[in-house]
Amino acid sequence: MDRPVEHEDLDLLAHVLLPVADKEDALSSATALEPYQPDHVTALHVVEKGQGVPDKTPVAQSEAVAEESFEAVRMVFPDADEHTAYSRDIVGAIFDAAAEVDASAIVYRSRGGNRIVQFLSGDRSLKLITTAERPVIALPRV
């Protein structure tokens, strides 16, 4: 994984990467981000892939979810770019996408849930903030 490129003014909000899971998540994340007025937003949806085994969810269905999520982000940020990644490693895919679009920061909103649910779905918040090589901004859960 490459090092973040030096931004001239090191503005955290110059170009944020916003990973979104579905329509509702996208809308609430984008709404939470909106007051901070980022300069540019790229919405990211990671399609979970088995890579070698058939997926539990049909890919076409996952792609429809991605499209809905992007649409929801654009209701708040009409100029937002979109990026779809395919990987079994969600957090790794977020980092790769951040490098690819050269994001100034990754912005995410924790999805909450109790310990068991977090364990079952993999506690991504922890991995995201402890292994990132560029700034990660956690939005408040309102």
Partner 1 sequence: MSEEELAKDLGLVSAMTIGIGTMIGAGIFVLPGIAAQRAGPVVVLSFALGGFIAVFNALSVSELGTAMPKAGGAYYFINRSLGPVFGSISGLGDWLGLAFASAFYTIGFGQYLGELIELPSVLFLNSIQVGAVLAGVAFVGVNYIGAKETGGIQTIIVAILLGILTLFAVVGWFSFDWGTVTGSGGLTPLGTAEILPATGLVFVSYLGYAKIATVAEEMRNPGRNLPIAIVGSVVIVSVIYTILVTLMIGIVPWPELDLEAPVAQAAEVAFPAAVAGLAMTVMTVAALLATASSANASILASARINFAMGRDRIVSDWLNQIHPRFATPYRSIIVTGGMIVLFIALLGRDVGLLAEAASVLHLIVFALLNLAVIVFRETDYPGYDPDFEVPLYPIVPILGATLSLGLIAFMEFWPQVIAVGFVIGAVAWYLLYARRYTPIQGALGEYIRERPDEMPDVAVSAAEAASPEATAAYRVMVPVANPETADELIAIGCTMAEQNDGVVHAVHIVEVPDQTSLDYVADKLDEIDPDASERLASAVETAAAYDVEIETHTVVSHRSFQEIFASAERLKADTVVMGWSPRRPWTTGRTGGPLEELTLELPCDFLVFKDRGLDPSKILLPTAGGPDSDLSAEAAKAFRDLHGSTVSVLHVIDEETERAEAMGFIGQWAAEHGLGDANLLVETGGDIEGEIRAAAADHSLVLIGATERGLLIRLLGDSLVYDVVDQIDQSVLLAERPAKRSIRERLFRRG
**Given the rule CB under 8 A, which residues bind partner 1?**
21-22, 24-25, 47-65, 67-68, 71, 84-86, 88, 111, 113, 117, 120-121
Read off the amino acid at residue 49. K
Minimum CB–partner distance for residue 39 and partner 1 (Å):
25
Q: Which is nearer to partner 1, 12 or 89 (CB)?
A: 89
Distance CA 141, CA 76 (A): 17
Minimum CB–partner distance for residue 83 and partner 1 (Å):
9
Taken in order 17, 47, 121, 74, the sign of the CA dihedral is: positive
Minimum CB–partner distance for residue 141 and partner 1 (Å):
14
Distance CA 28, CA 34 (A): 10
